[in-house]
Amino acid sequence: MTPDYRTQHKKRLSWMPWLYFSLKDKHLAWARPWQQEVQAHFSAVETVRFGDNCFVAPESELFAEPGRDIVTGKQCMIAAGCFLHGPITLGNEVAINHGCSFDGGAQGIVIGDQTRIANNVTIYAFNHGMAPNQAIYKQKSHSCGVRIGKDVWIGAQAGIVDGVTIGDHAVIGMGCIVSKDVPDWAIVVGNPMRIVGDRREKPELALFPPQG
């Protein structure tokens, strides 16, 4: 019995989607039509629009009712095991790795260009009421939205709560709970979160010259 290498290769791409963008032409010959089919299915059954040259794992779960759209820029990737419920807007070259869970609430999640999000990150752009005279599940939710800038790196298993804005070029450490705004360039860790550095002071890692 001949091993089913192509099925295994598709699974590998679903869980490590950055590999899609370095495929050789002989693999793109089957991978590109496969991706077109996957994305066409999501766009047919949900209010989802993909930019050019994206990768979306068929094992991801995308839900987007009219008015709660999911929209991506070009060359984005969404890995296997992700749950995304709109409204969500991704810029160009945004990476969402496996097992992430995002819900845009009423006001939405907006993620800027070239932001990279590691596995099992949670972002919830709404909160329940907590008045003591009624069960929480019966209370109305409220939503402020979540805004994440460009070129942000969010580490594995981080959590981001409603109402937060994360500035451009920030780094969020693994397991960090982001409960308040994060300035541009800041490096934050922990729960409760705290600022521990500035990317502009990390010359061995910096991609941009110091400013200010």
The token pair at 150 is 């460009």
What amino acid occupies position 58? P
| pLDDT at residue 203, rounded to an integer | 65
The reported pTM is: 0.92
**If you search the block for the tokens 């969500």, which residue do you land on?**
88
Q: Report yes or no: 66 and 84 within 8 Å, Cβ to Cβ.
A: no
| pLDDT at residue 209, rounded to an integer | 41
150-191 pLDDT tens trace: 999 999 999 999 999 999 999 999 999 999 999 999 999 999
128 is catalytic: yes
> How many C-alpha atoms does 89 have within 13 Å on its Cβ side?
12
Answer whether residue 75 shows pLDDT above 90: yes
Alpha helices in 16-82 (DSSP H): 25-45
**If you search the block for the tokens 């949670």, which residue do you land on?**
122
Give every strand in the sheet of 146-148, ordered side by side: 48-49, 70-71, 88-90, 109-111, 146-148, 165-166
23-58 pLDDT tens trace: 999 999 999 999 999 999 999 999 999 999 999 999
| pLDDT at residue 212, rounded to an integer | 34
The catalytic residue among 41, 98, 128, 142 is: 128
